[in-house]
Amino acid sequence: MDRESIEKQVKELHQLLNQYGYEYHVLDNPSVPDSEYDRLLRELQDLEEQYPEFITPDSPTQRVGGVALSEFKKVRHQTQMLSLANAFSEADLRDFDRRVRQAIGDDFSYVCELKIDGLAVSLRYENGIFVQGSTRGDGTVGEDITANLKTIRSIPLRLKEPYSLEVRGEAYMPKKSFLELNKIREEQGKQLFANPRNAAAGSLRQLDPRIAASRNLDIFLYGIGDFGTTGVTSHHKGLDLLEKLGLKVNKERKQCHSMEEVLEYIEKWTNERSQLNYDIDGIVVKVDSLEQQNQLGQTAKTPRWAIAYKFPAEEVVTKLTSIELSVGRTGVITPTAILEPVQVAGTTVQRASLHNEDLIKEKDIRIGDWVVIKKAGDIIPEVVYVLEERRSGTEIPYQMPEHCPACESELVRLEGEVALRCLNPKCPAQRREGLIHFVSRNAMNIDGLGEKVIGQLVALELIKDPADIYYLTKDQLLTMERMGDKSSTNLIEAIEKSKSNSLEKLLFGLGIRHVGAKAAATLAEHFETMDRLASATIEELLQIDEVGEKMADAIVTYFENQEVEQLLTKLKQAHVNMTFLGQKRSQTADEDSYFYDKIVVLTGKLQQLSRNEAKEKIESLGGKVTGSVSKNTDLVIAGEDAGSKLTKANELGIETWDEVRFLEELP
């Protein structure tokens, strides 16, 4: 055969194998025997061996790479992967429904979907070809697990249409695969996986994709990073589009027109979830209209248009043998129940949070009690109630101490709080917890400086505050247990490297009350330097959308502290960066800019800029980019193959530009 005929045969085999794979793994309705699929795959492998120039990334032979990775690379998501707020009761759901109605009125519908218990992942397609897959990570940056995701047969390597988009889904391990895997591990004398979710997550974080391939994982896709790139106007139509493109979407979804319908759907699957061949841990409820989603917006961490209802947790009985106290970095004293080990929702539990003194009194929890425990949201163990009828009279009522277990300072309860708190700023437990937080991954991310090393450094009085870390010497480290020449050198290098972190890392690491990682990033971007933030007034802080009164007051109070001023001076003298180094998502723009305070929609394919680049330029000039056209839209920028959005803009009489005009307006 000539080369043209060979190339044609290869393409025909691609098409056949992709179709048969889709029928088997997505539709669960194979049209040919496995032997026929295997025969065609061997035929393709033989051709690619002889003519490697015809091997393409979307070839069915490329699902399992033979080379193991040394590490996972970091991947920045094109659109943030938000987490969902949780609901644990009908009251929580009705409260969510009330908030939605207050914001957008009564004319809307919900989409309910099964909440798959697996690992959230993102898949990126360019012109229909699967080019990258990643974990959720912190929502902004995940890990590249492309090679492992390619081993999931229900993920198409080529879409049925040449879309460029980022889709989100949940990779999971079917119950049958989980039982088979644990059977093999048991025969090999290896530790068993506690549940399918842990098994799926562990499989996708294997550096060798051949291991992931052996685990028989699957996936359901549930969304698109930016629906605006697709032309669809509702979530359920977006799911229909994913199916049309050949992606696997859960069939059990339902459009609901009232909270009563939502509750009926939840009741059905609460009762029937055991019949599924995969685990679910709840129901996701989303407002269907994308325009209404945009109206509702989001908080720093979660969308206001969606919520995850978590099923009632499995409950078990065990004995509470003692209560331990821990001191957090903000001085809060937290009691923890020590339990006789027991299995709950697939994991062994020995400790459960008791939260605070009021809860212990309210539930009359005593040392020696038999108690019922559950995992709140199937994650956090907690004591539900005491089995009083099983008391023998030897149980001991618990009394919270009056003094801090770490420094003996008197404990106080601040107005409006239920927690007891140690207010001693020099409390060693608070100092230790604060230091552990400072070096953690989302803060200064100092590799090698974990809890045990921090504990040693504090015990040896080598560090008392975060700034002391930057004055440590190799000779000091060598005096510590299990700290040799190489590990000491590596730690000094890691500390030095952290000096160049962007401001938001340092700001989060300082542990200011109410300032989480997201808020730290917003503050760093807005003020740009630590000095500007430190001198900000409450009024200036409240001008930022994500900053409320409590956070603003906490920030001002923090920087008024003389000890904080001394700490920042020490950090500056150690040459720790105090400036925002990231790329600004937005900035106060010149009011003369055309885009200032304008709502802009991008549609179609731009030639000179990517969609993200165009969005960043508009936002840097004071504009806001949204995903759907409405009467509030000021401008639509249309590239090639602009579809329904351009049509709607014309119907509404909204100004439209082509890419050339857009580029002319940019400075």
Catalytic residue positions, numbered: 115
Q: Which of 429, 555, 577 is nearest to 500 (CA)?
A: 577
Cα 113 to Cα 146, 229, 252, 276, 400: the distances in Å are: 26, 23, 7, 14, 44
Quote the Cα angle for 519-140-88, to 5°: 75
Q: H or E segment at 449?
A: none
Q: Hey, what are 134's tokens?
A: 């990643």
Q: Which amino acid is at 437?
A: H
Strand partners, 132: 124
- Strand order, beta sheet including 306-310: 86-87, 306-310, 280-287, 110-116, 254-256
Query: Cα(110)–Cα(256) distance, rounded to whole angstroms?
Result: 5
Helix (H/G/I), strand (E/B), else coil: 219: strand
Q: What is the dihedral of CA 409, 410, 412, 418, to 10 degrees?
A: 80
Q: Which residue has the tokens 């100004």?
A: 655
For residues 571 and 506, the answer to whether their CB atoms sit within 8 Å is yes
Query: Cα(638)–Cα(100) distance, rounded to whole angstroms?
Result: 32
Helical residues (DSSP H) of 343-484, grouped into ranges:
357-362, 428-438, 451-459, 474-478
Measured in whole angstroms, the distance separating CA 385 from the mean position of its chain's CA atoms is 32
Q: Which of 256, 319, 317, 264 is nearest to 108 (CA)?
A: 256
Q: Which amino acid is at 86?
A: N
Per-residue DSSP letter, 311: P
Q: H or E segment at 645?
A: helix 644-652
Q: Which of 117, 149, 281 is nearest to 215 (CA)?
A: 149
Query: Cα(212)–Cα(75) distance, rounded to whole angstroms?
Result: 20
Cα 107 to Cα 3, 99, 258, 626: the distances in Å are: 60, 14, 10, 21
Dump the DSSP string for 480-510.
STT--HHHHHHHHHHHHHHTT--HHHHHHHT
> How many Cβ atoms from other residues are within 10 Å of residue 359's Cβ?
15
Per-residue DSSP letter, 617: H
Query: Cα(398)–Cα(388) distance, rounded to whole angstroms?
Result: 15
